[in-house]
Amino acid sequence: MTSTQIPGYLAGTWDIDASHSTVGFSVRHMMVSKVRGYFTKFEGVLVTAEDPANSTVEATIDMDSIDTRQEQRDAHIKSADFFDTGNHTVMTFRSTAIKAKGDDWTVEGDLTIKGITKPTTLDLELNGFGPDAYGGTRAGFSAKTDISRKEFGVDIDMPMDGGGVVVGDKISVELEIEAVLRTA
């Protein structure tokens, strides 16, 4: 897919607008439901190239900004049992390849959590490009992936009586990103 096949596509450098974006996740809890959470502090830069396949993404997430709507759980997740935010303050993602996938895209990259880097692929939907109310230009993206928390050293096991675990291994990550085009 080329940039001319994408309505409104603009090449340029874009800064993630954290106030209009969401970095969220969900994980199986007690084998019966999912707990959702968010990171409230993050930043990133997207470079959309003339050839979309040559575009890049870099993002940093403040691990202390986790919010699952329950302070005690958030404190436990920040502890050495999970993210160890005293020693690992950020999570990073750097793209290594972007590929067309039908009308959508995949973004391959290196995800680093707790100092452990693993290849990760995001399924990306390009939501569009357009003017904003402030005289600037915005772009929107949605992305999803699943990761194994244990592969990133978040390997606490909390077995339940009768079988199963309190916290599942699979983490579903969902991103809603709005970015602002940098001006000269």
Summarised one tens digit per residue, pLDDT across range 14-64 is 999 999 999 999 877 655 678 899 999 999 999 999 999 999 999 999 999
Residue 165's pLDDT is 47
Q: pTM, whole model, 2 decimals?
A: 0.91
Specify the pLDDT at position 145: 97
pLDDT in tens, 103-160: 899 999 999 999 999 999 999 999 999 999 989 999 999 999 999 888 988 776 665 5
Q: Which architecture, in CATH terms, is 3-181? A: Beta Barrel (2.40)
What residues are paired with 81 via a beta bridge? none
Q: What is the residue extent of each domain of the chain?
A: 3-181
